[in-house]
Structures are given as C-alpha cells and as structure tokens.
C-alpha cells in the first residue's frame, strides 16, 4: 500500500477536493483504495456521501486503538473505494497524540495491519498545523500540496513546506516524497489566465524552487463550478464529460504510480 496525503496549512486550499478526485480516479482504474478523513470538519466523509452512525468507530477510535483498524473501515457507494470516516469528535485526539510522545508515528502504525488489503491509501488532512497533521505526514509515502492561486495560498505553501522540512530534517518523521504543488482555483478569462493567477503561480514556482531542485509545480486545477457540481452529484469529472478539468488529477495519479514504479 502506498500512502499519499493532501496537505496545505490554510483553509479552502483544495485538500479535500483533491483527495476525493484522486481516490475516485484510482478506484475507477481498478485499484483498491482506502480514503481516510483526518479532518474533524469531516468534509471528505460528506463528499463521499457517507453518514457516521452514532457509536460506530471512526478514525478517532482507530488512532486511540480502541478498535482494530479494520473495524474503522467502511464500504462507500463507489466500487473499490473504502473509507475511515471522521466526525467533529476527532478533535479530541490531539491531546492523546501529544501525550504519546511518538504521536507522529501513530497513524502509520495503525495502518500496518491493513496495508495488505489496499493498493493505495489517500488521506485528507486538516488545515492547521496540529498533532493530526503531524501524524498524517508521518504516515505518508507521498504528499500532494494544493495551494490556492492567491496570496493566502502562497502563505499556506510556505508554512506547509517549512513543516515538511522540519519533519524531514530535524526528526526524520517524514521519509517520503513531495509529489507536487497543485495550484487551485486557477482563474482564466477566455483563453487567458488572469494576471493575478499568473503571478501567484509564478511565485509558487519560486518558493518551491527554494526547497527543491526539480520543478514541483504541477498542472493547475481551474476555478470552475463543474468541480462543485461533480462533488454535489457524486460524479467524477470524467463522468461529467470534463476530461480537460480532470487532467491535473490524472497527472497526480501518475505521480502516485511513480512511488512504486507502477504504470497504468
């Protein structure tokens, strides 16, 4: 199982959107996929049309080891796609992770027992720098960083790269790879990108090049109502007939394949 997380340390950067479409595309290609909602806001759980029944285990109970990991995994309405859901009670896990001393390693440890059941695990992280974010990054082989093409997005990118760098260099919690930075809500008017998007994406390239030698800024996710419509209707972009908009998701899937050297 290769584990890939969507991380960006600000709200509304496209984390959940990216997890949803990447997980669904991998599942549609026939891979067995475990999606994990690691955000107490539980947007991914909602986007996947899943309702947590009272008293049924979620990521909270899995992290606290109150249940076996497999008992926190549910089928979704989509073939090959499974979910460890969350609800707002997940917030209470912060103290548990902080108190354990090795909180950043907790999620990775809990996933070991199910690693043989899935080809890919795709995790949605919360927007804050928190114990949950640390354990999500610690569990990951690859990270995808969505960044809104705005000033807020650039600040999120810097905070996120700083955190990844700390976890990599200082305490070796993260031994994986950054798969790419994906500009989110890239605005175009007709055939031209707006000057604001243009300059923000240029800044993303400059910021990223201070940390990495290769150009990690990937094809952008366009500003488009079609994404929201697809989410609301439970459809993939391909099912909506939006192959062009799905291109950045396809590129991400290729990057994920490159983690284990597999090709479609």
How many residues in the chain? Answer: 264
Question: What's the min distance (Å) between Cβ of 115 and ligand ATP?
Answer: 25
DSSP secondary structure letters along 148-199: ESSHHHHHHHHHHHHHHHIIIIIS----SEEEEEEEEEE-EETTEE-HHHHH
Report yes or no: 162 and 178 within 8 Å, Cβ to Cβ: no
Please report how the helices 15-28 and 243-259 are oriented relative to each other, as an axis angle in degrees rounded to 10. 80
Q: Which does 17 bind (CB under 5 to 8 A by kind): Mg ion, ligand ATP, none?
A: ligand ATP
Of 149, 185, 218, 236, the residue at the interface with ligand ATP (CB under 6 A) is: 185
Choice between 65 and 228, CB closer to ligand ATP: 228
Of 5, 17, 130, 220, the residue at the interface with ligand ATP (CB under 6 A) is: 17
Question: What's the min distance (Å) between Cβ of 108 and ligand ATP?
Answer: 22
Half-sphere exposure of 207 (CA within 13 A, CB side): 23
Q: Which does 118 bind (CB under 5 to 8 A by kind): Mg ion, ligand ATP, none?
A: none
- Please list every residue from 7 through 46 that binds Mg ion, using CB under 5 A: 15-16, 43
Report yes or no: 62 and 84 within 8 Å, Cβ to Cβ: yes
Site string for Mg ion, 40-59 (x = CB under 5 A): ---x----------------
Site string for ligand ATP, 45-84 (x = CB under 6 A): ----------------------------------------
Question: What's the min distance (Å) between Cβ of 74 and Mg ion?
Answer: 19
The yes or no reply on residue 24 touching ligand ATP (CB under 6 A) is no
Sole window of 7-15, 64-72, 108-116, 157-165 interacting with ligand ATP (rule: CB under 6 A) = 7-15
Report yes or no: 152 and 181 within 8 Å, Cβ to Cβ: no
Choice between 14 and 85, CB closer to ligand ATP: 14
For 262, the 3-state DSSP assignment is coil
Half-sphere exposure of 57 (CA within 13 A, CB side): 16
The single residue listed with the structure tokens 């997980």 is 23
Question: What's the min distance (Å) between Cβ of 100 and ligand ATP?
Answer: 25
Strand order through the sheet with 177-186: 74-75, 81-84, 33-37, 120-124, 2-6, 142-148, 177-186, 221-222
Residues that bind ligand ATP (CB under 6 A): 8, 11-17, 39, 41, 43, 127, 185, 221-224, 227-228, 231
Residues that bind Mg ion (CB under 5 A): 15-16, 43
């Amino acid at each position: 199982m290769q584990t890939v997380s969507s991380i960006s340390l600000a709200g509304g950067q496209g984390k959940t959107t990216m997890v949803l479409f990447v997980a669904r595309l991998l599942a549609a290609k026939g891979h067995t996929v475990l999606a994990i909602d690691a955000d107490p806001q539980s947007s991914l759980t909602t986007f996947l049309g899943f309702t947590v029944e009272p008293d049924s285990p979620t990521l909270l109970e899995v992290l606290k080891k109150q249940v076996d990991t497999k008992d926190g995994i549910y089928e979704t309405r989509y073939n090959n796609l499974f979910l460890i859901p969350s609800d707002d009670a997940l917030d209470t896990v912060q103290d548990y992770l902080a108190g354990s001393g090795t909180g950043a390693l907790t999620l990775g440890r809990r996933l070991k027992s199910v690693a043989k059941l899935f080809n890919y695990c795709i995790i949605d992280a919360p927007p804050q720098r928190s114990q949950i974010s640390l354990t999500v990054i610690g569990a990951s082989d690859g990270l995808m960083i969505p960044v809104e093409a705005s000033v807020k997005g650039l600040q999120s990118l810097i905070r996120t790269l700083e955190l990844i760098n700390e976890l990599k260099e200082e305490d070796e919690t993260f031994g994986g790879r950054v798969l790419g930075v994906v500009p989110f809500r890239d605005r175009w008017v007709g055939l031209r990108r707006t000057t604001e998007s243009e300059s923000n994406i240029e800044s993303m390239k400059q910021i990223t090049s201070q940390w990495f030698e290769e150009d990690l800024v990937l094809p952008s996710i366009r500003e488009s109502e079609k994404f929201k419509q697809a989410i609301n209707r439970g459809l993939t972009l391909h099912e909506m007939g939006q192959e062009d908009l799905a291109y950045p998701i396809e590129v991400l899937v290729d990057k994920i394949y490159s983690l284990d050297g597999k090709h479609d």
